[in-house]
Amino acid sequence: MSHQRTLQAAAACEGIGLHTGQTVRMCLRPAAANFGVAFKRIDLPASPIIEANPANIVDAHHATTIGKGGVKVRTIEHLMAAFAGMGLDNVLVELNGEEVPIMDGSAAPFVELIKKAGLRRQMVPRTYLKIKERLVVEADRRSIQIVPSERLQVIYTMRFDHPLLGEQSAAFDISKETFISEIASCRTFGFVKDVEELRRRNFALGGSFDNAVVIGEGGVLNGDLRFRDELVRHKVLDLLGDLYLLGRPVLGTVIAHSAGHLLHTRLVQEIQRQLDIQHAAPARNGVIERWARPLLQPERSLKVAPS
Ligand SMILES: [Zn+2]
């Protein structure tokens, strides 16, 4: 995992936006080493580009939105999670609308798209962010923290205000394999009472039984869950997508309690703030280190097979 990767070829899909209800065509294109992840609004004059980075986060209510110069791209988190989970460093995302298609509400369709395009190794080392000291963000009774560890781990607990759900926890050692088999297919979810409220306020215009787990008073209204704890696993998926706004993999253990995009993105901004402080004063012994390779996960294979 120590070299950067991009796509072998372009790959496209089309779908409805969860919040806008608009049909959007999305094309993932290969990009040069050190390019990172960026979104291009090809429906607008001059096709503006918005880089996926902490400085461009403009909203994190309900979903993660980035923007620059008044131009936005909404609901990027599931696609970003697929990039993080598949180890895709450099990609240009072209969209002919404002929102990433919601597809089935999970990251699985994006994983399939990346597999279809194939991955290609680039001759530039990937850097990692290794957390050296604990960072905490809290609000009300919700919290998220990251503590030092040699690999990325997530421990996520959600307390749901619903008699059938109660508390759910999930803990994962994040690797490409775990991401694909345990996390990628977990769908976003909504409670009937909230969905009605969101619709009244024109959020979730594209929400339907096809792109979210919908929960009523008596339980799930649209079929079986993909995992018994699919809801909290989806929160892990959201977190991985938001963390990837840092532009490189993070080595640390994230512990989240009833968090969401707002706290995820505040943690991301705090990590970036620490990096900026260190950059401004290089002699300072900072709380984050940049590593050209992870301590564990040594490189074994030279090839990435599009499986
Ligand atoms: Zn989500």
Residue 78 CA to ligand 1 center (angstroms) comes to 6
Does the model's pTM come out above 0.75? yes
Task: Single out the residue in 125, 144, 166 at which a domain terminates.
Answer: 125
**CA dihedral (120, 126, 131, 136) positive or negative:** negative
Number of residues assigned to the chain: 307
Residue 139 CA to ligand 1 center (angstroms) comes to 20
Q: What is the pLDDT of residue 304?
A: 40
Average pLDDT in the 51-69 region?
Answer: 96
171 and 234 co-located in one domain? yes
Residue 251 CA to ligand 1 center (angstroms) comes to 22
Inside any domain, residue 297? no
d(CA 26, CA 17): 11
Dmax (CA) for the chain in angstroms is 58
Domain tally, the chain: 2
Tokens encoding 37: 């992840």
DSSP string, the chain: --EEEEESS-EEEEEE-TTT--EEEEEEEE--TT--EEEEETTSTT--EEE-SGGGEEE-SSS-EEEETTEEEB--HHHHHHHHHHT--BEEEEESSSB---TTSSSHHHHHHHHHH-EEEEEEE--EEEE-S-EEEEETTEEEEEE--SS-EEEEEEE-SSTTT-EEEEEEE--HHHIIIIITTPPPEEEHHHHHHHHHTT-STT--TTSSEEEETTEESSS--SSTTHHHHHHHHHHHHHHGGGSS-EESEEEEES--HHHHHHHHHHHHHHHHHHHHSTTS--SEEEESS-SSS----S-----
Average pLDDT in the 99-110 region?
Answer: 97
* Catalytic choice (19, 62, 261, 264): 261
Q: 70-86 burial by CB neighbour count: b if 16+ within 10 A, else e?
A: ebbbbbbbbbbbbbbbb
Task: For strands 142-147 and 135-139, give the pairing.
Answer: antiparallel
Instruction: Show the domain range for 119.
Output: 3-125
Residue 166 CA to ligand 1 center (angstroms) comes to 19
Q: What are phi and psi of 6, to 5 degrees?
A: -130, -175
160 and 72 co-located in one domain? no
pLDDT bin (cut points 50, 70, 90) of residue 198 is low
**Residue 162 appears among annotated catalytic residues:** no
Task: Single out the residue in 125, 140, 169 at which a domain terminates.
Answer: 125
d(CA 100, CA 79): 8
Residue 179 CA to ligand 1 center (angstroms) comes to 15
Inside any domain, residue 70? yes
Asked if the model's pLDDT at residue 203 lies above 90, the reply is no
3-state secondary structure 173-188: ECCHHHHHHHHCCCCC
pLDDT bin (cut points 50, 70, 90) of residue 259 is very high
User: What CATH number does residue 95 fall under?
Assistant: 3.30.230.20
145 and 286 co-located in one domain? yes
Q: What is the pLDDT of residue 196?
A: 72
Asked if the model's pLDDT at residue 270 lies above 50, the reply is yes
Q: What is the pLDDT of residue 190?
A: 85
Asked if the model's pLDDT at residue 75 lies above 60, the reply is yes
Q: What is the pLDDT of residue 62?
A: 87
Using an 8 Å Cβ cutoff, are 19 and 205 in contact?
yes
Residue 56 CA to ligand 1 center (angstroms) comes to 19
- Each residue of 22-41: pLDDT tens digit? 999 999 999 999 999 999 99
> How many Cα atoms sit within 13 Å of 278 on the Cβ side?
15
Residue 60 CA to ligand 1 center (angstroms) comes to 11
Residue 63 CA to ligand 1 center (angstroms) comes to 7
113 and 42 co-located in one domain? yes
87 and 152 co-located in one domain? no
119 and 221 co-located in one domain? no
